[in-house]
Amino acid sequence: MPSEESCIISRYVPNPLLINGLKFDLRIYVLVTCLDPLRIYIYNEGLTRFASEKYKLSDCKTNRFAHLTNYSVNKKNDKFVQNTCATDDGKGNKWSLSALFKHFEVIGIDCELLWSRIYDIIIKSFISGETVMSQATKKLSCHRNNCFELFGFDILIDSELRPWLMEINLTPSLACESPLDFQIKSNLIADMLTLVGVQAFDRRRDNPYVRPKPAGGLFGPKDPLRPLAPLSSAATAAGENVDPDDLSNTLAYARLKVFIPQHAASSN
């Protein structure tokens, strides 16, 4: 092993906790709004992603549908059961975290103890990288409160109820391929924008990157940029027709708007 290079050492967890014979993992969304001091917010909802075939340790090198819990992998399997109704949770190969912990309570698992162990992993993960992230932020001359980041933690639970960190996703996917995805991720974005403090805006009045169209001209220049307005909690709760594919674009715009220093915005 090279001593001059940074390395990641990992091992396979041979005794995962199973539900109906299936391996699963947890996608937990974590928002960091400040690094100095470190502020971490853990969203109270998330996703439980199941493998699509029964778990057998003996075929770990041959059957990826039994050993990998990635949605992008298992959705290609004919045995994968997609969620078709957000209210019909706890069925198929993707559940909400709420449905999972309701199941845990029914079978007698200490949910508070399990959550405390998951919180411990998340907090220690950020502490381990706090110095590097803080230094990178300072190089960009950012004010400590004008940037934020959403992370996706993938957690595996073993048969002894010990959580294991599999990976941390920077800018996790916000694609919505099921009603359950849309319900969880749209509310996640609405709550995140409210917490960060991104305000609704008028494209023509507030956006410094959009030049007003010349009055009276039929062939004037078109607006070069039309960012999306942030998704409101009210719109989500009312069930308005919001395109799920726009959620990632909404978050990208929000990050840009928060990142722009005040003096730069006013000079435009």
Q: Sorting pLDDT into bands at 50, 70 and 90, what band is 107?
A: very high
> For residue 169, what pLDDT band results from cuts at 50, 70 and 90?
very high
Does residue 257 carry a pLDDT above 80?
no
Same domain, yes or no, for 27 and 150?
Answer: yes
Task: Identify whether residues 30 and 102 lie together within a single domain.
Answer: yes
Domain count, the chain: 2
Does residue 220 lie within any of the structural domains? no
Distance between CA atoms of residues 219 and 214, nearest Å? 9
The model's pTM? 0.73
* Residue 175 per-residue DSSP state: -
Instruction: State the average pLDDT over residues 66-77.
Output: 92
Are 146 and 178 within one domain?
no
Q: Check whether 122 has a pLDDT greater than 90.
A: yes
> For residue 6, is it within any domain?
no
pLDDT in tens, 40-49: 999 999 999 9
Q: What is the pLDDT of residue 66?
A: 93
CATH of the domain at 143: 3.30.470.20
Tell me, yes or no, whether 159 and 193 share the same domain.
no
User: Does residue 188 surpass a pLDDT of 80?
Assistant: yes
pLDDT digits (tens, 9 = 90+) for 218-244: 444 444 444 444 444 444 444 445 455
Question: What is the pLDDT, as a whole number, of residue 249?
Answer: 59
C-alpha triplet 229, 186, 183: angle, nearest 5°: 150
- Co-location of 179 and 168 in the same domain: no
Q: What is the full DSSP assignment across 7-71?
A: -------SSB-EETTEEEEEEEEEEEEEETTEEEEEEEEEEEEE-SS---GGGTTT-HHHH---H
Q: What pLDDT, on the 0 to 100 scale, is given for residue 142?
A: 63
Do residue 179 and residue 194 come from a single domain? yes
Q: Per-residue pLDDT averaged across 11-26, rounded?
A: 94
pLDDT beyond 60 at 74: yes
Q: Are residues 17 and 76 in the same domain?
A: yes
Q: Please enumerate in sequence order all residues whose Cβ is within 8 A of that of 104, keeping only pairs 6 or more positions apart, or say none.
A: 111, 114
Mean pLDDT of 197-213: 65
Residue 106 has pLDDT above 80, yes or no: yes
Sign of the Cα pseudo-torsion (91, 94, 99, 104, in order): positive
The pLDDT of residue 207 is above 80 = no
pLDDT, residue 216, reads: 47
111-120, 128-137, 183-192: lowest mean pLDDT where? 128-137
User: Which pLDDT score is estimated for 8?
Assistant: 79
Structure tokens at 22: 């299936």
Q: Are residues 164 and 243 in the same domain?
A: no
Residue 263 lies in a domain: yes
CA pair distance 38, 61, nearest whole angstrom: 40
Among 141, 172, 203, the domain-final residue is 172
Cα of first residue to Cα of last residue in the chain, in angstroms, is 53
C-alpha–C-alpha distance, residues 88 and 263, integer Å: 49
Only one residue has tokens 């906790």, namely 17
Closest to 149 in 3D by CA, of 262, 34, 62, 266: 34
For residue 259, give its domain range: 174-211+226-268
* Contact by Cβ (8 Å): 69, 25: yes
Confidence of residue 28 (pLDDT cuts 50, 70, 90): very high
Q: Is 181 a domain residue?
A: yes
Residues 108 and 44 in one domain: yes
Answer yes or no: do 142 and 189 share one domain.
Answer: no
For residues 98 and 110, state if they share a domain. yes
Stated as kind and residue range, the H or E segment containing 115 is helix 111-139
